[in-house]
Structure 1
Amino acid sequence: MTEKSENTLKVAHQAFTHFQHGLATGKWNSFLDMLTEDFSFWFPMGKFHGLNVGKPKAEAFFNHVTEVFNPGLTLTLDSVTSNEKTVVFEFRDEGMMYKEPYKNRVAVAFDVREDKICGYREYFGSDGKSN
């Protein structure tokens, strides 16, 4: 593994820890602090469907995630794949979505530039709701 790949993986893991904390608690500041000002993200559906650009848009998105998944989600990390600039985390999450039981399988890709996250893409497919 190259030095650049090792740094990418280290930065992405730190960001994922903050991301996981944000999903669990609704407190996103540590994650948002790791984003570049020109951060862009792609989301597959809803109010933020498609490409979104800028840190303020990201803050609005993650605050929306907190509203949807109140009181928070727990994650189980299944797999991590990386190259020199991107790290993909595959996980299962579970909790409540709009006060209904929720379970899902998710992959998120973090693009890393130096010691910040400059891009995010999310993909998911339902495991179905809990009973």
Structure 2
Amino acid sequence: VVVSFVVKKDGSIGDVKSIRKINPSLDAEAERVIKSLPAFTPGTLNGDAVDVWYTLPVSFKIKKDEIKKDDSIKKDEKPTAMTRSLEKVTLYQGDESRIVPYERIKNINPNLIDSINVIKNGGRPEVNVYLKSV
């Protein structure tokens, strides 16, 4: 999740919002964590305190037993520019790989996914989904 926020003139955190959303639960947690940060030393310009905007990526590592069904991507969520430009995804499992249409990854059980790698290749993202070996 990528979060943007402002460090105000008094050092407090304000205007916290997720600008690259992943999942409603994770987005809310990233915003909560940023809002709970202690006061910063405010930025200065010519000796005067000023508001300073920051953009910060927040990474999550979720254990398999912490995944809940309500944390899956909702079907009514609008596609992002990245997902609109995707046509196919490469699935890897053990030593095997296969290319599938992007729409098929929505049907993969999240508990079977070991990792996902997104690479920007010439302006178009490539997505590699690594499945756990069974």
TM bucket (normalised to shorter chain) is 0.3 to 0.5
Q: Higher helix proportion, which one?
A: 1
Asked which structure has the greater RCO (Cα within 8 Å, sep 6+), the reply is: 1
Q: Higher strand proportion, which one?
A: 1
TM-score (norm 2): 0.33
Larger Rg: 2
